[in-house]
Amino acid sequence: MNRIQRGRGGWAIEVGGLTRAAGVALLVLGLAIGGCSSKKNTQEGAGLNPNPNGLGEGGVGSGGGSSLNQMQNGTLGANGGPLGDIHFGYNDATISPQDNGVLKANADYLSAHAGTRVQIEGHCDDRGSEEYNIALGARRAQAAKDYLATLGVSGDRMSTISYGKELPLCTEETDDCWAQNRRDHFALSQ
Amino acid sequence: MGVMKSIVALIALLFLIIPAAACAQDESRETIVPGAPPASTTLPPITISAAPRAQPIAVSALKNLGGDDAHRVSESFGKVLMRDLTLSSFFRILNPAAYIEDAQNSGYDIGQFNFGDWSSLGADYLVKGSATRDGDTVKVEALLFDVPQQRRVMGKKFTGSPHDVGEMARRFADEILKSATGKRGPFDSKLAFVSTRGGRFKEVYTSWLDGGSLFRVTDNPTINLFPDFSHDVSHLLYLSYKSYSPELYLADLDRQIETRINPGLGQAVGGTMAPDGQIVASYQRGGRTNLYLLTPSGNLVHALTDNSSINVSPSVCPDGDQLVFTSDRSGTPQVYSEDLDGGNAHRVTYKGSYNTTPAFSPDCKQIAYESREPGGFQIYVINLDGSGAQRLTQSGSNEGPTWSPDGRYIAFSSNRGGGSRIYLMRARDGYIIAPLTEGQGNESNPAWSWWMGD
């Protein structure tokens, strides 16, 4: 008569639109983390349960050093790392001239550390719809990637991701706070 | 591919059996024990103020015809029915403490009770009925009476398990609205939403529209967004960062297995389900975000947009022919319509510089959307041809409108009460009926399903 739902989370995963072998491999991976999901997984902070799929676009892996990883650890914004953030105007993805120096420094760091990779994260302020902001953040990340490419950083060392307005550095409804949140963050990995 | 899917499903099922058995002792799980009393129907403690001109209705207890000695069936049925009738804004419930008649010591059909006991309370309508319980089978007969006319209006018989009593009440509420207004009510339906009630992280939940049977769909400490039901309410599409890259997942709510949608078009931004089970999704690559029609398993059918703008927030009308979405191709985000075959794109909104998250009404004639105004976002409704824009919300910042399947209501998220909660309003005039969630954590991204039953 109806569908009664119970349980929570931790489901097995099928993969759509993939090859047979990859599908089965990922299914097994999914089962490794799936199955008996108990209360411990629901407690925030305890056991961060990083997903094993690790399919970050540029191979940044399981989120290490990313803003999402920092949010999980409660350290978002606390540790900037060696690469500087750049900032944007409202609903805009244009690189601002005053950020040219930051991008040059970031490019210099990357050329001096040949074994590193960077995931460029686009972020937005909290005004506007979440989905539009994910697309806007993607545009911001791409703008920095294109700029770094013109400074000689190889494309295969860079990946991009957008977090939209999901990972704000501050939450006040002020111009200052909004300006801080409209940013590209550069997450370094080996 | 079909064979492959079957094999994958079979393997998945085999593996699922083992952890399921291991989890049988987990008290957090709701388990059906044959012969056990029905689980109490928990509804969120929300305040619903009676709407102006709401009609007074009395909801009597169900007469126990055997097996419901503790009146659990009657109580669950009554609690859900009263909640849904109040949420409809058509009715106000007369206080059961004032009822004169003892339901257990009088009849429940015409000629077996005294209408005077109800007309003296001022009731326009009266619900009476009976409950029978035999082991794991519950039978409910529910009847609607017009008190001034002393007439039986409608009656329904339901049979199911003890866990189905709430849905029986939801279906009967929808039938009462049909009898009283000529149009079926929308309460035999589900709500999906995002909530931080479990901690800091945005997780996807589903419940009945009235808040019953809360179910947590995602359980990962990342970001989960944009739930959307399949037309038959068997699947839920959502976006998750759980792989540390944004991807769409299609969860099979019955089998509790999910498919990762991976058409190879870039990073997922969002998506919605078409009535036939196909998926309309936005993917970004190189900073360009475009819309694509995908098969239910995530393979590309065709592109719906192909430009360097942002194209997001698709909503497909229930007839399956058209979608609306947000695009900034004009320089600012605006609402557009397009045929699902990829042609006939039209701009719908012109007023305002930021119009997003469109939602097609069930009759495919109107679009609800949010528009940036001084001080926050407001929900508007506009005709598909761009005429007749009407602002529905007045206070706070209001986002993410979603229509009821009958088209009478819109649910949305709002910060009007402090943190973000899901609210219910009437689509015709913006009358705010009630918050649908109790406000544990921030709640957003409401998605209203189609009817569960036929």
Neighbours of A180 (CB within 10 A): 18
Same-domain check for residues B160 and B199: no
The percentage of chain B sitting over the pLDDT mark of 90, rounded to a whole number, equals 86
For residue B406, the domain's CATH number is: 2.120.10.30
pLDDT at B395 over 80: yes
Once rounded to an integer, what is the mean pLDDT over residues B80-84? 97
Q: Which pLDDT band holds residue B353 (cuts at 50, 70, 90)?
A: very high
Which residues in A lie closer than 8 A to residue B260 (C-beta atoms)?
13-16, 26
Architecture per CATH, domain A67-189, reads as 2-Layer Sandwich (3.30)
Once rounded to an integer, what is the mean pLDDT over residues A151-176? 96
Q: Which pLDDT band holds residue B272 (cuts at 50, 70, 90)?
A: very high
Once rounded to an integer, what is the mean pLDDT over residues B270-291? 97
pLDDT at B8 over 50: no
With CB atoms and an 8 Å threshold, state whether A131 touches B28. no
Same-domain check for residues B320 and B428: yes
Same-domain check for residues B148 and B208: no
Q: Which pLDDT band holds residue B207 (cuts at 50, 70, 90)?
A: very high
Once rounded to an integer, what is the mean pLDDT over residues B36-44? 62
Evaluate whether residue B21 is within a structural domain.
Answer: no
CB-nearest partner of A128 from B262, B296, B356: B356
d(CA A130, CA B270): 9
Q: Which pLDDT band holds residue B11 (cuts at 50, 70, 90)?
A: very low
Dump pLDDT digits (tens) for B117-134. Answer: 999 999 999 999 999 999
Q: Which pLDDT band holds residue A33 (cuts at 50, 70, 90)?
A: very low
Same-domain check for residues B146 and B236: no
Once rounded to an integer, what is the mean pLDDT over residues B376-404? 97
Same-domain check for residues B363 and B231: yes
Among B133, B158, B181, where does a domain finish?
Answer: B181
Give the pLDDT of residue A16: 54
How many DSSP H helices and E strands does chain B contain?
4, 30
Give the pLDDT of residue B336: 98
d(CA B139, CA B146): 24
**Residues 304-333 in B contacting A (C-alpha not used; CB under 8 Å):** 310-313, 326, 328, 332-333
Give the pLDDT of residue A35: 34
Once rounded to an integer, what is the mean pLDDT over residues B392-399? 97
d(CA A182, CA B230): 34
Chain mean pLDDT for chain B: 91
Same-domain check for residues B170 and B204: no
For residue B268, the distance in angstroms to the closest alpha carbon of chain A comes to: 9
Alpha helices for chain A (secondary structure H):
20-33, 67-73, 100-112, 130-150, 175-181
Same-domain check for residues B282 and B174: no
With CB atoms and an 8 Å threshold, state whether A72 touches B16. no
For residue B138, the domain's CATH number is: 3.40.50.10070
Give the pLDDT of residue A120: 97
Q: Going by C-beta distance under 8 Å and a sequence separation of 6 or more, which residues neighbour residue B84?
A: B169, B170, B173, B185, B187, B209, B210
For residue A39, the distance in angstroms to the closest alpha carbon of chain B comes to: 8
Name the residue among B63, B59, B58, B67 with its Cα closest to residue B109: B63
d(CA B354, CA B399): 12
- Domain that includes residue B176, residue range: 55-181
Among B129, B150, B181, where does a domain finish?
Answer: B181
Once rounded to an integer, what is the mean pLDDT over residues B366-376? 96
Same-domain check for residues B84 and B201: no
Give the pLDDT of residue A149: 98
Give the pLDDT of residue B400: 98
Among B131, B157, B181, where does a domain finish?
Answer: B181
The percentage of chain B sitting over the pLDDT mark of 70, rounded to a whole number, equals 91
pLDDT at B234 over 60: yes
Evaluate whether residue B22 is within a structural domain.
Answer: no
Which residues in A lie closer than 8 A to residue B284 (C-beta atoms)?
134-135, 138, 162
Give the pLDDT of residue B243: 95
Give the pLDDT of residue B453: 83
Cut 0.95: pTM above it: no
Same-domain check for residues B441 and B351: yes
pLDDT at B12 over 90: no
pLDDT at B169 over 50: yes
Once rounded to an integer, what is the mean pLDDT over residues B270-294? 97
End-to-end CA distance of chain B: 31
Question: Domain-by-domain residue ranges, chain A?
Answer: 1-41, 67-189
Q: Give the number of domains in chain B.
A: 2
Same-domain check for residues B100 and B151: yes
Give the pLDDT of residue A189: 83
Dump pLDDT digits (tens) for B138-168. Answer: 999 999 999 999 999 999 999 999 999 999 9
- Rounded (10°) angle between helices A100-112 and A130-150: 60
Same-domain check for residues B206 and B149: no
Q: Which pLDDT band holds residue B15 (cuts at 50, 70, 90)?
A: very low
CB-nearest partner of B260 from A13, A34, A49: A13
- For B90-104, what is the HEC assignment? CEEECCHHHCCCCHH
**What chain A residue is nearest to B258 in terms of C-alpha separation?**
A13
pLDDT at B69 over 70: yes
d(CA B300, CA B303): 8
**Residues 2-21 in B contacting A (C-alpha not used; CB under 8 Å):** 4-5, 8-9, 11-12, 15-16, 18-20
Once rounded to an integer, what is the mean pLDDT over residues B426-434? 97
With CB atoms and an 8 Å threshold, state whether B298 touches A53. no
The residue with greater pLDDT, A5 or B308, is B308
Q: What is the largest CA-CA distance in chain B?
A: 74
CB-nearest partner of A12 from B12, B213, B328: B12
The percentage of chain A sitting over the pLDDT mark of 70, rounded to a whole number, equals 65
With CB atoms and an 8 Å threshold, state whether B219 touches A10. yes
